[in-house]
Structure 1
Amino acid sequence: MADARVKPHQLAVAARCGLQVPATLITNEPEMVSDFARSAGGRIITKSLATMVTVDDVRGSGVLYTAEVAEDLWGDPGIAATAHLFQELIEGVDIRLTVVAGEFFAAEIYPTDLGGPVDIRAHNENVSYRVVEVPDGVRRRVLDLLRELRLAFAALDFRVVPGRGWIFLEANPNGQWAFIPELRDPIAQAIADFLETSCR
């Protein structure tokens, strides 16, 4: 899990397994960001290099959300302080795909506020869900990805884009899964079955 949570590693493995991934730049050189943003269509996001929990004296603990980078920040000198992960902004329908020992559970996520934050998590409960099937090609490639990452469980995020299909965003080796009402019981059962079988 410690290795698999590192997003640049995930992206490299996902691309090697044949999944589509966003155009990505990892850099601490501010001057590179502008060129990348223009080549990516003029809209980019930034996200943490690995799953992280933040602690704030006022708000308590939380996670760092993916956020769009405004054009006036593309050359921000603060970028030089450490490595940053930038990606093209993928506009489409959010998918949460949970895989448990080869069983697939997927749902589209639709925010109530279509003009809200880029990161679907920032919408909290102001979303609706629709259970969907996973295309065979995506299934095969995700199984290859999880095999290479040595994970029996993962909660993966995709965006589906008309004309491009399923774009892999990231995999959460210990991701949340109980928030989608229609999938809560089937996923819980799959986890219980896997644990019961593994402990025999």
Structure 2
Amino acid sequence: MGRQIFTVRIEGSPSLDWRRHYDALSYSLIDTPPHLAKCVRAYLEAFGLVFGAFDFGIDHDGRTWLYECKPNGQFAWFPEPITGRIVTAVADQLQYAGVHDAR
């Protein structure tokens, strides 16, 4: 959102499709790996976007795969404090649109 990147790690799925096992999952806000942050920013800049909800996966060899970038990603189902930080960033972007955010 804007210049901020939030990376949520989802773990604990007993199968490939984690969406079938919400109760078994854990969620944690992690530092975005620098190479991913660079790629996300380049993608958003290339398309003139201030927001994108990216889905990535990490395979058994540790390689990161981009699945998609959604224009309206859902995040309200994440637990606090993850949701609160993202909502604050969205509100800040809406309130200060066009103002350079150096954070």
Question: By the TM > 0.5 criterion, same fold?
Answer: yes
Query: Paired residue for 1:197?
Result: 96
Between Structure 1 and Structure 2, whose CA radius of gyration is higher?
A: 1
Cα gap change, 1:164 to 1:153, in 2 (>3 Å): same
Identity of aligned residues (%): 28
After superposition, the Cα gap between the structure-2 partners of 1:146 and 1:199, relative to the gap in structure 1 and judged at 3 Å, is closer
Match of 1:147 among 39, 45, 48: 45
Q: CA deviation at 1:189?
A: 0.6
1:101 alignment partner in structure 2: 2
**Against the structure 1 CA distance between its residues 125 and 172, is the aligned structure 2 distance closer, same or farther, given a 3 Å change threshold?**
farther
What is the TM-score when the length of structure 2 is the normalising length? 0.80
Which residue number in structure 1 is paired with residue 31 of structure 2? Answer: 133
2:74 is equivalent to residue 161 of structure 1: no
Task: Name whichever structure is richer in strand by fraction.
Answer: 1
Gaps of 5+ in 2: none
The one-letter code matched in structure 1 to 2:18 is I
1:199 is displaced (CA, Å) by 7.5
Correspondence 1:172 to 2:70? yes
Q: Give the residue type in structure 2 aligned to 1:109.
A: I
Is contact 1:155-1:177 (8 Å) kept?
A: no
Instruction: For residue 147 of structure 1, give the secondary structure of its aligned residue in structure 2.
Output: helix
Q: Which residue of 1 aligns with 2:83?
A: 184
Query: How far off is 1:169 after superposition?
Result: 1.0
In structure 2, the residue matched to 1:121 is: 19
Tell me if the contact between 1:109 and 1:128 (Cα under 8 Å) persists in the aligned partners: yes
Question: How many equivalent residue pairs?
Answer: 98
Shift of 1:119: 2.5
User: Using CA pairs below 8 Å that are at least 6 residues apart, which structure has the higher relative contact order?
Assistant: 2
Structure 1 distance, partners of 2:61, 2:19, is 25
Q: Tell me by how many angstroms 1:191 deviates.
A: 0.6
Compute the displacement of 1:130 (Å): 2.1
What's the CA shift for 1:123? Answer: 2.3
Report the CA distance between 1:174 and its aligned residue. 0.2
Distance 1:199 1:104 in 2: 18
The separation in 2 between residues aligned to 1:149 and 1:167, in whole angstroms, is 20
